[in-house]
Amino acid sequence: MGEAVTGPLRRPEHPGSGRRQARVLPRGRQAGHEAREAIEELLGDSPRRRDLLIEHLHRIQDRHGQIPAELLAALAEAMRLSYAEVYEVATFYAHFDVVKEDEPALPPLAVRVCDSLTCAMHGSAALHEALASQAMPEMRVVRAPCLGLCDQAPVVEVGHHFLHRATPAVVLEAVSQGDTQPHMADYVDLDRYRAAGGYQLLGRLRSGELDVEAVMAALEHAGLRGLGGAGFPTGRKWRAVRGQPGPRLMAVNGDEGEPGTFKDRHYLNTDPHRFLEGTLIAAHVVEAEEVFIYLRDEYPLAREILSHEIGRLPPGGPVLHLRRGAGAYICGEESALLESLEGKRGLPRHKPPFPFQRGLFGRPTLINNVETLYWVRDILERGPEWWAGQGRHGGKGLRSFSVSGRVRQPGVKLAPAGITLRELLAEHCGGMAEGHELMAFLPGGASGGILPAAMADLPLDFGTLEPHGCFIGSAAVIVLSQADDLRAAALNVMRFFEDESCGQCTPCRIGTQKARLLMERQEWDLPLMRELSEVMREASICGLGQAASNPLLSLLRHFPEFAAEEGHPA
């Protein structure tokens, strides 16, 4: 499975023979002896399979703070891939800093300043400018998309250490002290989890005491839906995968990159075994031989916790593989995630076939989000009626709302599905921040659109916001007040989509760029904006391009006084 493919060989002519004989070296840039030795030492006994290419690129990046061209060439030789194949993957992902031979080496320490919407609202632009002007020789200051800590804005990542509510002085102190690794926090480890009844449900399932059909029926009766954003019924998805001929695989989508979303980080960092037990239950139900957990690179603490706790699990069941993303929002799309797991660029696949038919390595594959799997144990132990009865205003179940912006108490808020924003703020967030009045909110992160305060009594659930041009998605709620410029907010998220477009399809690649340029004008060409948005929505391959114009369109729909105001700078 996933064996590397040997690159094509150049065959020079042998003088006087009239025949071409094979060279022993692959086509493309050649590596020097020192570079080959460095790669062999770095990889050690690790397999050289193609699907591990991104993992091996991480090893180089972690060791050197960048990826020199000579090491990239040596890696290509070691993996029996062409230099072009390795180069195109390395340059696709934002967290790999490829340095060409004719370029000077980069300062080894990356200081990433988040510039997504919530951090921008809390002054990240000024923070970036201050750090850039005071940068030390060993550091480089770069902008970064959402780092998954919107409730702690503004956020700066120093190496793999995250600084909450960062200031220039705090960041520079961390750099000078070499504080670049994640700080371990308290969490429910295997012993504590087992003491509270953990893994008993999995044991009943594996022993046959609990029937597989009963598990799928319970999830269907409860109405559990995918909580990564799409909302597909979980029980139906498991049944569909199980109905495909084996062997089957499973992939977990932990690439939580939607600006404003940080719920998966919360659960992974605090109660990882509840997620792992749900994962193992799902793998047993669909008879998946292996499970690939794809975790965004911005979650190093979760990766450290999972690596340690997975190693403590008793033998038996599927093999669990933990794989790192590398800074590509598009890999949250299920088929792009599969491509990345195979060691390729994260380009969405055309459908059909769908992943449940032909997914990872061509096998039927179950794909679930972290939070979806987190709730499996509770639903099966407490009963589907418990979950179905948790909603409000017609909603079913619980939702983990990632709340950030102008609120007194931001964070992950566990609340009934269908709760209104007004209720969410009053009951879970302590109301609006001091001196701020609700003006607008994004109910589903950057792609979910923007709604006015007048719609704060709408139920927040699947299907309730679509009539208004928005959707709840991953339940990332960003709250704006009279202190915020809505045009600037919409422009911020459009710049994000332009940066994160994979570039595969023209409507998204060119559409997001053109939309950003139009939005930067003082006067907006509304007919052209609407026409462009329609093309992006109807012709893009995946959800990124299809949803990228939602904030713009909802602004035009619900805030005409802002969208049509002449001479108002974006």
List Cα–Cα distances, 552 to 198, 259, 489, 501, 570, in angstroms: 46, 16, 10, 17, 12
**Contact (CB, 8 A) for 552 and 511:** no
pLDDT digits (tens, 9 = 90+) for 452-466: 999 999 999 999 999
* pLDDT band of 31, cuts 50, 70, 90: confident
* pLDDT band of 347, cuts 50, 70, 90: very high
pLDDT of residue 27: 57
**CATH architecture designation of domain 109-177:** 3-Layer(aba) Sandwich (3.40)
* pLDDT band of 184, cuts 50, 70, 90: confident
**Contact (CB, 8 A) for 236 and 230:** no
| 45-67 mean pLDDT | 97
Q: Which helix (H) or strand (E) element contains residue 235?
A: helix 234-242
Q: Where are any strands of DSSP class E within 347-429?
A: 365-369, 398-405, 411-416
CA 247 – CA 94 distance, rounded (Å): 34
What are the residue ranges spanned by the domains of the chain? 33-99, 109-177, 190-382, 398-484, 487-562
| 233-247 mean pLDDT | 97
506 CB neighbour count, 10 Å cutoff: 14
| 225-250 mean pLDDT | 95
Q: What is the DSSP string of 272-289?
A: HHHHHHHHHHHHHHHTEE
Q: Which helix (H) or strand (E) element contains residue 225?
A: none
Crossing angle of helices 506-520 and 526-539, in 10° steps, is: 160
Q: pTM of the prediction?
A: 0.92
Q: What is the DSSP string of 439-506?
A: EEEEBTBTTS--EEGGGTTSB-STTTSGGGT---TTTEEEEEETTS-HHHHHHHHHHHHHHH--SSSH
List Cα–Cα distances, 561 to 47, 557, 568, in angstroms: 59, 10, 11
| 418-447 mean pLDDT | 97
Longest dimension (CA), the chain: 87
Q: Which CATH class is domain 190-382?
A: alpha beta
**CATH architecture designation of domain 33-99:** Orthogonal Bundle (1.10)
| 58-63 mean pLDDT | 97
Share of the chain above pLDDT 70, in %: 94
Closest CA to 50 of 23, 17, 85: 85
DSSP state, 50?
G
**Contact (CB, 8 A) for 405 and 479:** yes
pLDDT of residue 563: 54
pLDDT digits (tens, 9 = 90+) for 110-140: 999 999 999 999 999 999 999 999 999 999 9
Is residue 6 over pLDDT 90? no
Crossing angle of helices 53-64 and 83-90, in 10° steps, is: 70
Share of the chain above pLDDT 90, in %: 91
The Cα angle at residue 352 between residues 347 and 354, in degrees rounded to 5? 75
Instruction: Name the residue with tokens 């399932």.
Output: 205
Q: Which helix (H) or strand (E) element contains residue 393?
A: none
Which CATH topology does 398-484 take? Ubiquitin-like (UB roll) (3.10.20)
- The mean of the pLDDT values for the chain is 92
**Contact (CB, 8 A) for 232 and 277:** no
* pLDDT band of 343, cuts 50, 70, 90: very high
Given CATH 1.20.1440.230, say whether it is the number of domain 487-562. yes
